[in-house]
Chain A
């Protein structure tokens, strides 16, 4: 098993091969072959990932750096194409390939109504996405990470606009791509700055405890603050934080499994991964930490409020994703890196489950996404209902489901940092519980509110759809048990132990506040009681609802997402559009065209005038010649 690290390149390579086969052979292979290849390569890379994980969890494992070839080689800068495998990477590998595999299986059934070439195209994009994401987490330096970072952005664009005949979907895809690009600029500038300051972008050189950043930057905190803030701008773009979050809800235009894979389980956690990977830099830049915590918390609350009044099943989940990502950033911002990564993991389970459940519902309803037209589906779709219910319990933070442990850990860390953060964070958690149970009640409880035709059509989904649902439901139910707080079980936090080497230096730098045990118990009990209360309240309120009334007043503002899109539209998009209109109608037509046509016209005019000199009179020619000679003589005389 020692040579397992010689095989790690297969982990990203396999999905890439799948991408090539499915992409090039999309017209040649039948749907079942495409689905088999697409899922099979992910399963194989999952197997390799498991081997890597087992190796990484052994006693005495140290981070492995595998360099393949020089990627950029200049006089002073050498950036190799390298992978780094450590505990953090191996955990992300498991999440990406594991959840990714389930979503591929689900897609094979969900997308079956696509045309043959569309089906191949879909799976090739999905494989390419997994490839990019694996590159992102396996990269041994920021440049390799950036390649993956751009790759997932591209795949996100391609998959959101998968049904490219609908122009709204294309606009959503463009919006996602452009918003991501805005963030990427920050990330790229951060990398450049890092390169010029430290001369390297490799993790093992930057974060080396002997001669790395820890010793180098203590004297230069402002630069580090700048770099970390720029990297964080990249993270806000990719992980949908204020102010760059608006693309994520629109990204629901893509097929539902895509929403599950990209916009819930993997891609949007890239920002979290990046900050967790750079944890040492962040720990040394307290200003940035505060910014991260505040932005995360603000996003968590803001998105949760918007989610309260959304009526599209996928939009509710999208805003919930934004909100949960906000929690992860809160965790990172208060220095609870383990908790944030833990929440990434549990969130991947229950949010993928929620999206896949939503997909199953939408599938059964024949494409209907408005929860006002659902209701009472619980009886018809048992498995979907139960799994969705488990996911709701998990995301709301009810023990012993997965979300409880991770969210509680983040909130406890927030309390240790500042009680204000805790209270606001708890408020967000209550909002989460409310909108999730509102969604659950409106979808699955009460009477059916759709058409008779839809009612007739509603059925439980096939096994390829329910299998991933059940698997993810089990993971959502028990996934949190890897991180039981010390409070309950001594040495119960296996994940914390596993990840400890990654965050070792940060924990030395940061002053970790510990909350007294009694306080922690009180906090736990209070939050659980409140959350359970809110769940019951929401359930009862919407159990027999006949659908949402038309929203008025503040509720209408919420339903319209605080008019943020309109706001961005009027302060950014419209001015730019009118500027382009001025440039194209005024500047281009009168100035640029004027210059070009003016050159032609003046040459025409002057030739017409000069032509008159050629009169054909020999006497004139001779006279001009003599004049010319005289002029030359005069010049000759005066220049001496």
Chain B
């Protein structure tokens, strides 16, 4: 049952992320919430990986690395995404002197 705790933790993190993204207007916090969701999924991946390896009888941690590799991959992509996202926020601040995401609706015109 030890995987169950991981699942509960990651669902909790994910829900915090969602609620944060929905309710906050500060775009940096929204951004952090999105990262939180991403990483909750990462956590889940690692937990499941471990669980499945144990399920088929593999206990040596140096062998059971498939899903962990995936997690690293996601982290790299997320890092790239963060750099782009932060750059957008910086540009946004320069133009509007605000980081309120509701200011961004000006884009539609």
B107 and A616 within 8 A (CB): yes
CB-CB contacts of B10-46 with A at 8 A, as 1s and 0s? Answer: 0000000010011001010010000000000000000
**Which one of A616, A622, A623, A626 contacts B105 once the chains associate, using CB atoms below 8 Å?**
A616
A618 and B104 within 8 A (CB): yes
Is B83 in the interface zone, CB < 8 Å from A? no
Q: How far is the CA of A626 from the CA of B34 in the complex (A)?
A: 12
Q: How far is the CB of A541 from chain B (nearest CB, A)?
A: 100
Is B101 in the interface zone, CB < 8 Å from A? yes
Q: How far is the CA of A185 from the CA of B63 in the complex (A)?
A: 83
Q: How far is the CA of A617 from the CA of B25 in the complex (A)?
A: 11
Q: How far is the CA of A48 from the CA of B21 in the complex (A)?
A: 101
Q: How far is the CA of A623 from the CA of B25 in the complex (A)?
A: 13
A623 and B102 within 8 A (CB): no
Chain A residues near B105 (CB-CB < 8 A): 615-618
Chain A residues near B27 (CB-CB < 8 A): 618
Q: How far is the CB of A182 from chain B (nearest CB, A)?
A: 67
CB-CB contacts of A586-619 with B at 8 A, as 1s and 0s? Answer: 0000000000000000000000000000111111
* Closest chain A residue to B104, Cβ basis: A618
User: For the complex, would chain B's binding face be called helix, strand, loop or mixed by DSSP majority?
Assistant: helix
B30 and A616 within 8 A (CB): no
* Closest chain B residue to A622, Cβ basis: B21
Is B97 in the interface zone, CB < 8 Å from A? no
Is B106 in the interface zone, CB < 8 Å from A? yes
Q: How far is the CA of A564 from the CA of B108 in the complex (A)?
A: 75
A618 and B102 within 8 A (CB): yes
Q: How far is the CA of A622 from the CA of B22 in the complex (A)?
A: 7
B102 and A615 within 8 A (CB): no
CB-CB contacts of A475-486 with B at 8 A, as 1s and 0s? Answer: 000000000000
B101 and A618 within 8 A (CB): yes
B18 and A614 within 8 A (CB): no
Q: How far is the CB of B5 from chain A (nearest CB, A)?
A: 21
* Closest chain A residue to B24, Cβ basis: A619
Chain B residues near A626 (CB-CB < 8 A): 18, 22
Chain B residues near A623 (CB-CB < 8 A): 22
* Closest chain B residue to A615, Cβ basis: B105
A616 and B22 within 8 A (CB): no
Chain B residues near A615 (CB-CB < 8 A): 105, 108
Chain A residues near B108 (CB-CB < 8 A): 614-616
* Closest chain B residue to A617, Cβ basis: B105
Q: How far is the CB of B22 from chain A (nearest CB, A)?
A: 6
Q: How far is the CA of A623 from the CA of B27 in the complex (A)?
A: 15
* Closest chain A residue to B106, Cβ basis: A616
Q: How far is the CA of A208 from the CA of B30 in the complex (A)?
A: 97
Chain A residues near B22 (CB-CB < 8 A): 619, 622-623, 626
Chain B residues near A617 (CB-CB < 8 A): 102, 105
Q: How far is the CA of A618 from the CA of B22 in the complex (A)?
A: 9
- CB within 8 Å for A618 and B106 given contacts A626-B18, A626-B22: no
Q: How far is the CA of A509 from the CA of B105 in the complex (A)?
A: 98
Q: How far is the CA of A619 from the CA of B21 in the complex (A)?
A: 8
Chain B residues near A614 (CB-CB < 8 A): 108
Q: How far is the CA of A623 from the CA of B23 in the complex (A)?
A: 10
Within 8 A of A (CB), among B74-109: 101-102, 104-108
Q: How far is the CB of A625 from chain B (nearest CB, A)?
A: 9
Chain B residues near A616 (CB-CB < 8 A): 104-108
* Closest chain B residue to A626, Cβ basis: B18
Q: How far is the CB of A151 from chain B (nearest CB, A)?
A: 71
Chain A residues near B101 (CB-CB < 8 A): 618-619
The 5 closest A-B CB pairs, nearest first, are A616-B105, A616-B108, A618-B101, A617-B105, A622-B21
| A and B contact pairs by CB, cutoff 8 A, 23 listed | A614-B108, A615-B105, A616-B104, A616-B105, A616-B106, A616-B108, A617-B102, A617-B105, A618-B27, A618-B30, A618-B101, A618-B104, A618-B105, A619-B22, A619-B25, A619-B101, A619-B102, A622-B21, A622-B22, A622-B30, A623-B22, A626-B18, A626-B22
A618-B102, A622-B21, A626-B18 given. 12 additional CB < 8 A pairs?
Answer: A615-B105, A615-B108, A616-B105, A616-B106, A616-B108, A617-B105, A618-B27, A618-B104, A618-B105, A619-B22, A619-B25, A622-B30
